[in-house]
Amino acid sequence: MRGRLPHPREKGGADTGPSPVDRRKTGSKHHLICDGRGTPLKVITTAANVNDVTQTLALVDGIPSIAGRPGRPRRRPEALLGDKGYDSNAHRDELLRRRILPVISGKGSPNIKGIGKLRYVVEQTFALLHHFKRLAVRWEFRTELHDAFVSLACSLICWRRLRKPRND
């Protein structure tokens, strides 16, 4: 039936897929890029079965201009830190072509020393994002509604970080 809105009890929708860790139940996954302080810069929602490495360039391209210093606003990070899920020679080459240094552990090799301390910043930002209960479990059928809630949550995280006095 055309123009029919989904019933609130219906599950699924766009950007849902079988979860590889939750008995193949349908779900979504958030891909996040943040700065060194944990401020979210870009979040993408995909199906649960999408590999992390496929969203690397979309996250980097989605970083907004960072204003504040005199001159041209910076759009690219100097380096990109990722875990073994982001290991891909094609993506490494593309990041290097964009003058971004990839700091990514290779599959089958030992972890880069101290990468856990740096990865903690991203995991902390994920935890802050999922403190908003509506984002921890996706209830919205329409992806654009879910993305609007994600944007609102990121805005609140940024606002809270700006409100705090810096101890640097």
DSSP output for 132-158: SHHHHS---SSHHHHHHHHHHHHHHHH
Which strand (E) or helix (H) includes residue 28? strand 26-34
Instruction: Look at residue 93 in the predicted model and tell me its pLDDT.
Output: 92
Instruction: Look at residue 133 in the predicted model and tell me its pLDDT.
Output: 80
Compute CA distances 100 → 33, 142, 168, whole Å. 14, 34, 26
In degrees rounded to 5, what are phi and psi of residue 66?
-105, 110
Instruction: Look at residue 115 in the predicted model and tell me its pLDDT.
Output: 67
* Contacts with 63 (C-beta within 8 Å, 6 or more apart), sequence order: 33, 41, 42, 75, 76, 77
* Contacts with 10 (C-beta within 8 Å, 6 or more apart), sequence order: 141
**Beta bridge mates, 30:** 45
90-100 mean pLDDT: 90
Instruction: Look at residue 142 in the predicted model and tell me its pLDDT.
Output: 81
Average pLDDT, the chain: 78
Q: With bands split at pLDDT 50, 70 and 90, how would you rate the model's confidence at 56?
A: confident
Tokens 């930002």, residue? 125
Query: CA-CA distance, 14 to 156, in Å (whole number)?
Result: 26
Query: CA-CA distance, 27 to 13, in Å (whole number)?
Result: 10
